Amino acid sequence: MIDEFEDIVRSTLLDNGEFVKSIGDEVMLAFREPASALDAALAIYARCVGTVGFPIPRGGAFHGSAVTRPRDYLGGSVNTAARIAAEARSGQFLVGDRVADAARTRGLAVTHLGEFALRHLVDPVSISEVRLVQSDHYVIDPVCRMRVDPDDAIGVRHCGNDYWLCSLQCAEQFTQNPERYASPS
């Protein structure tokens, strides 16, 4: 599955980005402009959603300067991008302000989530979510974060919102502590 994911990612880049490296089941990509990063992210998410049984990715992007090394990039912007990506949950694409502005310019749905204190960064970082996939074909189990088909899932209603869970175990965890798993309205 990791090889298939890397193939998906590499096939979406064309000439507008660089596949820097993979780290386990993660990939690091580099782009000169936020618009190119958005193009690749849209294509990656669409391909993953369109592949039956394939996990929905999570990701992050931040635009800024970086130190280039052979087959690597270093610096504050790279660290910020990694920390933003670490905040994302399955299906989310979280971004810094410059990428969020580019997404708004393209007409993508952008939700500002606020200022976040991220690990090993001195100043809080403004993070927004860019909605990359407009699909009703899947939902994300809020407990295990796996993609589920609502027709085969266990439904739970909490505070007027419906949540779909993959198993009785996830449903039990959700009902024991719904505030932990429920999305803020």
Q: Provide the pLDDT for residue 75.
A: 95
Can you give the residue ranges of every domain in the chain? 2-130, 139-181
Q: Is 144:137 a contact under the CB 8 Å cutoff?
A: no
Q: Provide the pLDDT for residue 184.
A: 57
* Rounded Cα gap, residues 54 and 38, in angstroms: 21
Q: State both tokens at 48.
A: 């993953």
**Higher per-residue pLDDT: 174 or 159:** 174
Strands (E), the chain: 18-23, 26-30, 59-61, 67-69, 72-74, 93-95, 110-116, 125-130, 139-140, 147-148, 154-158, 161-165
Query: In 3D, which of 92, 69, 64 has the Cα closest to residue 80?
Result: 64
- 2-130 CATH fold: Alpha-Beta Plaits (3.30.70)
- pTM as predicted: 0.78
Mean pLDDT across 22-49: 93
Mean pLDDT across 98-112: 96
- Is 152's pLDDT higher than 70? yes
Mean pLDDT across 111-126: 92
Q: Provide the pLDDT for residue 115.
A: 94
Q: Provide the pLDDT for residue 185.
A: 43
Q: Is 44:8 a contact under the CB 8 Å cutoff?
A: yes
Q: Provide the pLDDT for residue 90.
A: 79
Strand partners, 157: 162
pLDDT > 70: percent of the chain:
96
- Is 137's pLDDT higher than 80? no
Q: Provide the pLDDT for residue 179.
A: 86
Q: Is 166:153 a contact under the CB 8 Å cutoff?
A: yes
pLDDT band at residue 145 using 50, 70 and 90 as cut-offs: confident
**Higher per-residue pLDDT: 134 or 141:** 141
Residue 35 corresponds to which amino acid? Answer: A
Sign of CA dihedral 140, 93, 96, 73: positive
Q: State both tokens at 171.
A: 């449903």
* Rounded Cα gap, residues 59 and 129, in angstroms: 10
Task: Please list, in sequence order, all residues whose beta carbon lies within 8 angstroms of the beta carbon of residue 70, skipping any fewer than 6 positions away.
Answer: none
